[in-house]
Copies of this chain bind each other. A is one copy, B any other.
């Protein structure tokens, strides 16, 4: 019989106090034990997963989702490797971010501490179950996992394995709990457990984000849209510009850090742009352009205002010719979603202005927007990319799963 959301929340809060007290050595050992256990228990894990896969196929689930759902020995090995990589990260807990002595002699330290209970609501991929458990435990938090119903057998089996593994290293099993009830009601209850949940991270599509924006009373970090831009400046290296827009648009079009709009300085409209559009078309990219683009490239579809806001997640690219850097920055600040934007230029002054004035979570100079990613930043497994400004912005690592506390040392100090 699985626990209710209320029971899970209470147990997580209690467990979080225990986990917060553990030294990094114990937390790291638990992550390594989790990795070992996933490999040792590959057979029963894959068997449990097969139940989900069979049911999903029977229900006519799309092959993309069935593929995401499927566990293999190789994927379990990746999950184990992910946990080892997180274990090898620097410990975020206890770091003294800043410290100073006041004129009256008080010594103030700002210390990084665990958040407490982190809840994550996510979709089909069972690897998230291990990734999130590892990230939360490494950062001294208890976690509550709420996966989707189609992965219930897989998630139950994975959580069972990793709970037993962490216990062998003296970590309380309730530091990692799965919400067995995959109903909408249970998800809503979790979103509103504000006495227990210190942070909710939704990893899902627009409808999950909207539900959270409407109903959550617990603090949440939104992993939102990615309408990413590449701006090719007048002083761009033409070959580099082509490589970067091709990579940003076509290397994996379905992800949030893929480029959706290309902005081109007018000086390159008659020179670099036609060759770039040819290279993009050759890769199957549909071009939606403004009037100037369509003069150069008559095959382009006329871009509407919606195209500047669109997150296609597909082989479609909106293209606009801008008169200067200011117009490019203004366009991005109006239409961007604060995920990732890139400039291609050899002009240091243009690069400095772009990085300073573009309002986005990640701003790249001469690099593809596809690098807006926790793994590429060196953060180990990824908890998400925040498109909000409070607490965390851009790819989130272990530090973003912590809060802070002031520790103040006196010698009988009183206020007068």
In this complex, the interface size class of chain A, counting residues with CB under 8 Å from chain B, is: 35 or more
Quick check: is A266 within 8 A (CB to CB) of the other chain? no
Question: Given the interface contacts A102-B378, A199-B390, does A408 sit within 8 Å of B363 by beta carbon?
Answer: yes
Instruction: Give the Cβ gap from A363 to chain B, nearest Cβ, in Å.
Output: 5
Given A116-B359, A247-B415, 11 more contacts at CB 8 Å?
A: A106-B376, A116-B389, A198-B389, A219-B390, A244-B414, A361-B406, A362-B407, A365-B409, A367-B408, A377-B406, A390-B390
Chain B residues whose C-beta falls within 8 Å of the C-beta of A219 in the assembled complex? 388-390
Quick check: is A34 within 8 A (CB to CB) of the other chain? no
Q: Which of B357, B361, B409, B416 contacts A366 (CB 8 A)?
A: B409
Q: How far is the CA of A407 from the CA of B342 in the complex (A)?
A: 10
Q: How many copies does the complex hold?
A: 2
Quick check: is A154 within 8 A (CB to CB) of the other chain? no
Quick check: is A370 within 8 A (CB to CB) of the other chain? yes
Q: Are A393 and B405 in contact (CB under 8 A)?
A: yes
Most chain B CB inside 10 Å of its own CB: which residue of A106, A221, A366, A367: A367
Most chain B CB inside 10 Å of its own CB: which residue of A102, A198, A359, A416: A359
Q: How far is the CA of A362 from the CA of B20 in the complex (A)?
A: 17
Chain B residues whose C-beta falls within 8 Å of the C-beta of A405 in the assembled complex? 359-363, 393-394
Chain B residues whose C-beta falls within 8 Å of the C-beta of A113 in the assembled complex? 359
Quick check: is A240 within 8 A (CB to CB) of the other chain? yes
Quick check: is A213 within 8 A (CB to CB) of the other chain? yes
Least CB separation from A358: chain B residue: B405
Chain B residues whose C-beta falls within 8 Å of the C-beta of A364 in the assembled complex? 408, 410
Q: Which of B115, B377, B394, B415 contacts A376 (CB 8 A)?
A: B415
Chain B residues whose C-beta falls within 8 Å of the C-beta of A395 in the assembled complex? 406
Chain B residues whose C-beta falls within 8 Å of the C-beta of A410 in the assembled complex? 364-367, 371
Chain B residues whose C-beta falls within 8 Å of the C-beta of A360 in the assembled complex? 405
Chain B residues whose C-beta falls within 8 Å of the C-beta of A371 in the assembled complex? 106, 408, 410, 413, 415
Quick check: is A217 within 8 A (CB to CB) of the other chain? yes
**17 A-B residue contacts at CB 8 Å?**
A20-B359, A102-B377, A198-B390, A213-B217, A243-B412, A244-B414, A251-B415, A251-B416, A359-B405, A361-B406, A363-B405, A364-B408, A364-B410, A365-B409, A367-B408, A371-B413, A394-B406
Chain B residues whose C-beta falls within 8 Å of the C-beta of A20 in the assembled complex? 357, 359
Q: A168-197 interface mask toward B, CB cutoff 8 Å, 1 = contact, 0 = none?
A: 000000000000000000000000000000
Least CB separation from A364: chain B residue: B408
Q: Are B393 and A362 in contact (CB under 8 A)?
A: no
Instruction: Give the Cβ gap from A150 to chain B, nearest Cβ, in Å.
Output: 29
Instruction: Give the Cβ gap from A279 to chain B, nearest Cβ, in Å.
Output: 13
Q: Which of B17, B365, B393, B404 contacts A403 (CB 8 A)?
A: B393
Q: A350-390 interface mask toward B, CB cutoff 8 Å, 1 = contact, 0 = none?
A: 00000111011111111110111000111000000000111
Instruction: Give the Cβ gap from A47 to chain B, nearest Cβ, in Å.
Output: 35
Q: How far is the CA of A302 from the CA of B240 in the complex (A)?
A: 77
Chain B residues whose C-beta falls within 8 Å of the C-beta of A17 in the assembled complex? 333, 357, 359
Question: Given the interface contacts A377-B108, A411-B366, A412-B367, does A390 sit within 8 Å of B361 by beta carbon?
Answer: no
Q: Are A240 and B363 in contact (CB under 8 A)?
A: no
Q: Are B367 and A106 in contact (CB under 8 A)?
A: yes
Q: Are B359 and A407 in contact (CB under 8 A)?
A: no
Chain B residues whose C-beta falls within 8 Å of the C-beta of A246 in the assembled complex? 414
Q: How far is the CA of A192 from the CA of B40 in the complex (A)?
A: 51
Instruction: Give the Cβ gap from A324 to chain B, nearest Cβ, in Å.
Output: 16
Q: How far is the CA of A362 from the CA of B403 in the complex (A)?
A: 12
Quick check: is A206 within 8 A (CB to CB) of the other chain? no
Quick check: is A75 within 8 A (CB to CB) of the other chain? no
Q: How far is the CA of A388 from the CA of B333 in the complex (A)?
A: 30
Q: Which of B217, B362, B406 contacts A408 (CB 8 A)?
A: B362
Quick check: is A305 within 8 A (CB to CB) of the other chain? no
Quick check: is A36 within 8 A (CB to CB) of the other chain? no
